[in-house]
Amino acid sequence: MRLAILLLCGIPWLPAHGQADLVAVHGKVWTEDPKHPEAEAIAVAGHRIVAVGTDDDVMKLAGPQTRVLDLKGRRVVPGFNDAHVHFFWGGQGLASVQLTDAHSGQEFADRIAAFAKTRPAGEWIVDGNWDEQKWSPVKLPSHELIDAVTPDNPVWVQRTDGHMMLANALAMKLAGITKATPDVPGGFIGRDKDGNPTGIFKDAAKDLVERVIPPPSDAQVDAALLAAQKYALDNGVTSVQDMGFTGSHAADMQALIVRGYQRLIAEGKWKVRVSARFPLDEGARLRGLGIMTNFGDDTLVIGSLKAFADGSLGSATAWFMQPFDDQPGNSGLPTEQLSHPEEFFAKLKAADLAGNHIATHAIGDRANKTILDLYERLEKEDGPADRRLRIEHAQHLRREDIPRFAQLHVIASVQPYHCIDDGRWAETRIGHERAATTYAFRSLLDAGAVLALGTDWFVAPMNPMVTIYAATTRRTLDGKHPGGWFPEQKLTVAQSVHAYTVGSAYAESQDDIKGSLEPGKLADFDVLSDDIFHMDPVAIENVKIAATVLGGEIVRQ
């Protein structure tokens, strides 16, 4: 009936001939539209949805030219929107040596040796994403482990969290690193008992080496981005929010990548929707050009900013109120930019007044408290506004800071996979008491905060089913918490999907065009192999993406 009335009045976005380009019928559509939460079918014209309703309603819009997608009774959800990825970085990693699942230092070295044999002399070996917590015995690597097998290739491989690196002797030589190299504020250089660098570099100290690595060529950028796009589409991810890079070269790298996106769009090779953020320090440049948040089109936008408050828990550089349980005397540290809070605040304020939305990485409880304080001050000084302030990760929170997210309208952009990954060892580092308010997704939601879901890929798999499995089961990867690690913080499947679609769209201020399936919004949706709303969440990690529609085009079936 509703549709009949619409037809009489004419349906906006429907071409004059009155026929849809695509109808998807015989499904169980989870719309995320609170007025009509479930439907059977969707009609699409161009790249937008024109109707959502019963099969009968939607078939009325089908004509001879209309393509029919038979959903075969399967579950449809809005296209997943990953609120936090490092898209090029991840794509580059797909093409490099794979170290994540090495089980020992020896296997780590063997894989680097085998990969080095395939590379020309002089080419840098990067990425890798090693995780010494998976090794037995657990032990940080040093350059000696790989020097003999990499005499001709500088090596700069990163830990899976991206906050810690291992350089080989050649990389350190090219960067001029010696025993005499002074320590760096906001960073850490690993040293042996005689003060010689071990090859380990953390956070701000990474720049010492990164400044000598040549930038990727256009061809390398394109190859990495296309690999990343394929991986996203294979996982039913239709929108990504690209957080870019860390370090002093971050802005230059992100500029190369944004040019890459534009090149691939012009060549007709690009489909995934991207919101690319630049580092906070680029605020002045965006301001100077009058570029505000979401400058661009449905496929690519820029104009939002990313700041860093601290490091990571795995690298023991997250900034806490109290020392780590396993490292007395070390309570982590703020980033270089946050160690000058007034300067940092001035940048936030300038960005805020210019209409550039801000997201800040904060892991430790002190980092989170400090950013909440600064955001509160921003609200006070600049007055109420729709700023979509975000904290990325919001990982370890003091109990009293949890309600502040809702009170201050701060979006918690969280990555549930980190919970089942770090949950294996986090209590050794921060103890039971602090772990109880770690990855406190449910408490944040119950207190009224908006959650946006993502993966932090390359750090974690960009797989929404694995993310939802992690959020709803909290079963750590080591199998030691079959009932869930701090199970009171589990999300429901419906809460997870909402945060992964509507929540993520809200976090990038694009909830007017995506997040839910309703007329006028972009036709981005996924068809799932099983109905995740009616199954044991433990099995969700095995659910497959059966088909993906992006902008009205069936991009995967």
Q: Which residue stretches of 244-327 are H helix?
A: 250-266, 283-288
Which of 458, 485 has the CB closer to Zn ion? 458
Which of 53, 311 has the CB closer to Zn ion? 311
Which of 89, 108 has the CB closer to Zn ion? 89
Distance CA 69, CA 55 (A): 12
Residue list 387-446, contact with Zn ion (CB under 5 A): none
Q: How far is the CB of 421 from Zn ion (least distance, A)?
A: 14
Contact in structure between 121 and 151 (CB atoms under 8 Å): no
Distance CA 274, CA 241 (A): 6
Which of 243, 359 has the CB closer to Zn ion? 243
Q: How far is the CB of 302 from Zn ion (least distance, A)?
A: 18
Which residue stretch of 254-262, 312-320, 456-464, 498-506 sits at the interface with Zn ion (rule: CB under 5 A)? 456-464
Classify strands 197-203 and 187-191 as parallel, antiparallel or unpaired: antiparallel
Residue list 301-320, contact with Zn ion (CB under 5 A): none
Distance CA 245, CA 375 (A): 23
Q: Which residue is nearest to Zn ion (CB)?
A: 456
How many of the chain's residues bind Zn ion (CB under 5 A)? Answer: 2
Which residue stretch of 201-209, 273-281, 417-425, 451-459 sits at the interface with Zn ion (rule: CB under 5 A)? 451-459
Which of 30, 87 has the CB closer to Zn ion? 87
Which of 306, 498 has the CB closer to Zn ion? 306
Distance CA 170, CA 143 (A): 9
Task: Give residue 489's region: left, alpha or beta (phi > 0; psi -120 to 50).
Answer: alpha
Q: How far is the CB of 419 from Zn ion (least distance, A)?
A: 15
Distance CA 203, CA 209 (A): 11
Q: How far is the CB of 362 from Zn ion (least distance, A)?
A: 12
| Total H helices, total E strands in the chain | 19, 26
Which of 50, 243 has the CB closer to Zn ion? 243
CA dihedral 512, 550, 253, 210 (to 10 degrees): 120
Assign 491 to helix, strand or coil: coil
Token pair in block for residue 467: 């993310």
Looking at residue 501, its amino acid is: T
Distance CA 242, CA 427 (A): 30
Q: How far is the CB of 96 from Zn ion (least distance, A)?
A: 18
Assign 170 to helix, strand or coil: helix
Of positions 57, 82, 456, 518, contacts Zn ion by CB under 5 A: 456
Distance CA 254, CA 249 (A): 9
Could you tell me which of 476, 494, 52, 501 has the C-alpha nearest to residue 273? 501
Which of 89, 270 has the CB closer to Zn ion? 89
Which of 131, 379 has the CB closer to Zn ion? 131
Which of 243, 522 has the CB closer to Zn ion? 243
Contact in structure between 256 and 278 (CB atoms under 8 Å): no
Residue list 229-248, contact with Zn ion (CB under 5 A): 243
Token pair in block for residue 51: 């109707």
Token pair in block for residue 127: 């990425």
Distance CA 113, CA 110 (A): 5
Which of 456, 524 has the CB closer to Zn ion? 456
Beta strands in 19-144 (DSSP E): 22-25, 28-30, 38-39, 41-45, 48-53, 67-70, 75-78, 80-85, 125-130
Could you tell me which of 440, 430, 555 has the C-alpha nearest to residue 488? 440
Distance CA 358, CA 138 (A): 37
Q: How far is the CB of 278 from Zn ion (least distance, A)?
A: 14
Q: How far is the CB of 227 from Zn ion (least distance, A)?
A: 18
Q: How far is the CB of 454 from Zn ion (least distance, A)?
A: 9
Which of 243, 362 has the CB closer to Zn ion? 243
Q: Which residues bind Zn ion (CB under 5 A)?
A: 243, 456
